[in-house]
Amino acid sequence: MAQMLVRNIDDDIAERFKAKAKAEGKSAEQAMRDLIEGYAADGKAEALARLDAIRKRVGPITLDPVAIIREDRDTDHGRL
């Protein structure tokens, strides 16, 4: 597994973070892992939401590739 080091965190913020984690019954390390996992998951959820919006806008693909190839082959569409 990867490791990360976060530098230059204000002492007061670090202490409040540790206290909040302890109040939730977690170590500061576990609380930080939970935050990072949530942050990374948000990006995936947003990307999936954008893809769903595109699918709704475009609609289902109804083209028949076999028919397109046959039409191209049987006509002059494929010739210069």
Domain of 58? 11-74
Residue 42: inside a domain: yes
CB burial readout 62-73, b (16+ within 10 A) else e: eeeeeeeeeeee
Query: Is 4 inside any structural domain?
Result: no
Q: Give pLDDT tens digits for 21-61.
A: 999 999 999 999 999 988 887 788 888 888 999 989 988 88
Residue 52 lies in a domain: yes
**Which pLDDT belongs to residue 15?**
95
- What is each CA distance from 30 to 1, 12, 17, 26, 42, in whole angstroms? 14, 19, 11, 6, 18
The pair of three-digit structure tokens given for residue 58, joined into one six-digit string: 């475009």
* 1 inside domain: no
Q: Is residue 79 part of a domain?
A: no
Q: What is the pTM of this model?
A: 0.53
Is 56 among the domain residues? yes
Q: Say if 51 falls within a structural domain.
A: yes
The total number of structural domains in the chain stands at: 1
- Comparing 77 with 74, the larger pLDDT belongs to 74
Residue 34: inside a domain: yes
In this structure, the number of other CB atoms found within 10 A of the CB of residue 17 comes to 15
